[in-house]
Amino acid sequence: MRRAQAIRQTRAGGFWGGPARRQIAATSLGGWALLGLALVAAGAAEEPAEGWVEANVALGAEFTESGATHRDWNGLTDGVKDSDVSPACYATTGEQGLPKWVLLDLGRPYDVTQINVYNSLNGNTKTVALYVGASSTKLTYLWKHEFPDRHLRTFQQQFPKTPIRYVKLVFEDTYGGGFGGDSVLYLREVEVIARVRQDEGTDGVRPGVAESAVVVSFPRTLRLLRRLTLARRFPLTVLVGGTEALAPERWTGSLRGELARAFEYEPRDPLAPRAVSAVIRDLGETTNAAPLVRAARRDEADLVVLALRPEDAAAVTGAALVSSLTSLGGELTSKTDCVVVLALLPTPERRDDSPLRAALGQLRAAARQVGYLADVGVLDCENAVEAVPERRPDLFDAEGKLNDLGRSFVARTLSKALRDYGAKASR
Question: Residue 162 is part of which domain span?
Answer: 14-203
What's the farthest any 2 CA atoms get from each other in the chain?
A: 67
Euclidean distance between CA atoms 111 and 230, whole angstroms: 35
pLDDT at 384 over 60: yes
pLDDT, position 99: 93
Question: Which pLDDT tens digit goes with each residue over 172-197?
Answer: 999 998 888 888 999 999 999 988 76
Q: What is the mean pLDDT of residues 396-424?
A: 78
Which residues pair with residue 29 across a beta bridge?
Answer: 32
Over pLDDT 70: what percentage of the chain?
70
Beta strand residue intervals within 42-188, DSSP E: 52-56, 62-65, 69-74, 90-92, 100-118, 127-135, 138-146, 154-171, 186-187
* Four-residue CA torsion sign, 252, 257, 263, 265: positive
* Chosen domain end from 187, 203, 219: 203
Phi then psi for residue 245, to 5 deg, are -65, -25
* Mean model confidence pLDDT for the chain: 72
pLDDT band of residue 84 (cuts 50, 70, 90) is: confident
CATH number, residue 57: 2.60.120.260
Question: Which pLDDT tens digit goes with each residue over 300-337?
Answer: 888 888 888 877 766 676 677 777 777 777 788 788 77
Same domain for 374 and 227: yes
pLDDT, position 364: 75
pLDDT at 36 over 70: no
User: Residue by residue, what is the 3-state secondary structure of 27-55?
Assistant: EEECCEEEEEEEEEECCCCCCCCCCEEEE
Range in 26-40, 165-179, 241-255, 344-358 the model is least confident about: 26-40
Element (H, E) at 243: strand 237-243
Q: What is the mean pLDDT of residues 43-62?
A: 68
pLDDT at 85 over 90: no
Same domain for 184 and 217: no
* Chosen domain end from 175, 203, 231: 203
The candidate with the shortest Cα–Cα distance to 332, out of 285, 369, 377, 368, is 377
Question: Which pLDDT tens digit goes with each residue over 413-426?
Answer: 888 777 766 555 44
Q: Which residues are within 8 A (CB) of 63 and not within 5 positions of it... i.e. 6 or more apart?
A: 2, 76, 77, 102, 103, 104, 105
Q: Are 189 and 169 in contact (CB under 8 A)?
A: no
